[in-house]
Each structure stands twice: as C-alpha cells, then as structure tokens.
Chain A
Amino acid sequence: MGNDASSLVAKAKRWASFYGKYPNGEEGAVLSVPLRLRAAWDAGDADALAGIFTENGSMLVDDTQLQGPDEIREYHRRAFADRLAGTKRTEEPIEITFLAKDIAFAVTKGGVIARGGDVIAKDDVVCGSWVIAKRDGEWRLVSHQTSPIKG
C-alpha cells in the first residue's frame, strides 16, 4: 500500500471515530452536519461552512451572534484568515434526539484546538447544541450555539 493510501486509511479510521455512539441510522445522518462543519472548519473553508446552514440558519460564535449564511460566510472568511487560522475542531456527540420526523436536536462536547496544538485546552471545552433539519432530502443546520464548560 502506498503512502497516500496508508494516510487515507488512517484518516478514515479517525474520521469514523467522530460518529461516536451514533455511526449509523438517522442519528448518523444527523451527525453528518457537525462533521461537515468540522471538515469545513479544519479546511478553513468559509463557503463550505456557510453552505451547511439553512437559509435562516444561525450560529453563536463566542459572543457574536451570526444570522444567515451570508453573515456566517463573511465572519468565517475573515476569521479563518486571522484569529481562527490553523485552528481545528474537535467534538463528540453526547446526545441526539428527534423533535419531529425531520428535525433533530443534538448535543456535543468539544471545541476549538488552538493553532499548532493537538489537544483542546481544558478551558476551551464547550457544550454545543445543534438544531438540524432535513431540507429537500439533505440534513442542514438551523441553529448552533455553544456554552463554556470549564472556561
């Protein structure tokens, strides 16, 4: 196996672990939203990140409330070029419940790993809530908020 393939296998194994106790089923499909956000964040891709949200989606980043994909895209375009450059996300799903057939509420624990770091600082660990809804067959993010656990 070549180095590229080995690297892919290793990354896939790690990625699969991010589903935690919800690898499959509807819960696994709901979790695709936090995972896509994580991938977009790690790639510093503001367009991809904003594209995960519904048209009226919202996101609370620290003390900044963002409303709508345009605000979310613009904020992250700047942030990924500046204070969030090189940062990574890490989070694990704690709970996924369904509010209706195509609307889920998920809770995660994790946060942002500082640039150059491998693990998240204790004070940076947050509890995240996610309202995720299926729109035209695709799970999208309606609302995301975090609150500090230790910090």
Chain B
Amino acid sequence: MTAVDDAKLKAYYGRFTSEAEIAVLQVPLRMVAAWSRNDANGIADVFTKDGILILPGDVYKRGRDEIRAFMAAAYAGPFKGTGVTGQPVDLRFVSDDVALIRTEGGILAPGAVEIDPELAVRSTWVCVRQDDGWYLAGYQNSPRGTGATLRW
C-alpha cells in the first residue's frame, strides 16, 4: 500500500479507528471497490445470501441474485462508468456480530470527483459478522438535501 492510499484510508476511517470498527468498515469499502469496476457480482457478494437492498424509487431487492441482476442492468444502463463514494458518520455495534454504519455520500457521475447535489444520499448499512468476515444484511439510502432527485 502506498503512503497516499494509507492516508486516504485513514481519512476514510476518521474517528472509527478500533480494530472492530475497521473490520466493519470493510463492508462499504468493498462496495466502493466493486462499484468502481461496475462489478455487479462484486456488489452482490458484499451482501449476505438473503441481504436486502432498498433504494429511492421502489427498489426493494432480496438476496444476491436479485441484487446482481439489478446492478448488472444498472451498469449496462445509465450507471455505466459511475463511481460511488461516502464518508462514515456513525458506527454502532448492536451486538458483537451486528453493526450499523451510517454514511453520507453519493454516486459519482462518470469522470466526476465530487458528488452532485442530485446524487447525494444518506445511507444506512446493516452489517452482520459471519465466519469469514462482515457482510451486508441490509442497505438503504435516502436522498440527502432538497436537490437530491435521483430515483432508481
């Protein structure tokens, strides 16, 4: 890892620096990485087998297969070349094996480095620990700011 990558990660983790918190934050980081490749399989694999994806605009997907199909179509369509970004603003353990993260972020239009107001979201990540790491049992985002008009 380069010094630049290291500094970026440190900025991302912010005040959530414990080993346990960093382990949970790998969930959104895996999502960001998969999205940067527009990799629908990679997105689906961040979720638990029966994980739930809820997005503004009547998107309610249950399980990896539904999520994979939905994201594959999105990346074939208007989301091709997009990225996603976000900053954790809250992280709470409900138990040792269940954690909630809230992030503020959004989609990056192709080539964009900052989130346009239309694409800004507030996200809740419901994470569960399984034998080989943390997975996403539920994800929902909601428009952030009055200018956030994106519906899926």
Quick check: which of A27-35, A37-45, A56-64 contacts chain B, the rest being far away? A56-64
- We find that the number of chain A residues with CB closer than 8 angstroms to chain B is 27
The answer to whether A129 touches B138, judged by C-beta atoms less than 8 angstroms apart, is yes
The answer to whether B98 touches A145, judged by C-beta atoms less than 8 angstroms apart, is no
Known: A63-B143, A105-B137, A131-B126. A149 touches B97 (CB 8 A): no
The answer to whether B126 touches A105, judged by C-beta atoms less than 8 angstroms apart, is yes
The answer to whether A99 touches B98, judged by C-beta atoms less than 8 angstroms apart, is yes
Known: A65-B102, A127-B140, A145-B140. A103 touches B54 (CB 8 A): no
A97 within 8 A of B: yes
A119 within 8 A of B: no
The answer to whether A103 touches B151, judged by C-beta atoms less than 8 angstroms apart, is no
The answer to whether B52 touches A107, judged by C-beta atoms less than 8 angstroms apart, is yes
The closest CB in chain A to the CB of B146 belongs to A63
The closest CB in chain B to the CB of A133 belongs to B94
B116 within 8 A of A: no
Which of the residues B62, B90, B122, B143 comes within 8 Å of A67, measured between beta carbons? B90
What are the residues of chain A within 8 A of B122 when measuring CB–CB? 60, 63, 65, 145
Max chain A Cβ within 10 angstroms of own Cβ: one of B94, B95, B137: B94
A9 within 8 A of B: no
Distance between B56 CB and nearest chain A CB, rounded to angstroms? 4
Known: A107-B54, A143-B124, A148-B143. A127 touches B60 (CB 8 A): yes
Bound-state Cα–Cα, A62 to B126, Å: 20
B85 within 8 A of A: no
Distance between B58 CB and nearest chain A CB, rounded to angstroms? 5
B80 within 8 A of A: no
Residues of chain B whose beta carbon lies under 8 Å from any beta carbon of chain A: 50, 52, 54-58, 60, 62, 90, 92, 94-95, 97-98, 100, 102, 122, 124, 126, 128, 137-138, 140-146, 151
Residues of chain A whose beta carbon lies under 8 Å from any beta carbon of chain B: 56, 58, 60, 63, 65, 67, 94-95, 97, 99-100, 102-103, 105, 107, 127, 129, 131, 133, 142-143, 145-150
A-B CB contact pairs (8 Å), 25 listed:
A56-B92, A60-B122, A63-B122, A63-B144, A65-B122, A95-B62, A97-B52, A97-B137, A99-B98, A99-B128, A100-B94, A100-B97, A100-B128, A102-B95, A103-B98, A107-B54, A127-B54, A133-B94, A143-B124, A145-B122, A146-B142, A147-B140, A147-B143, A149-B56, A150-B58
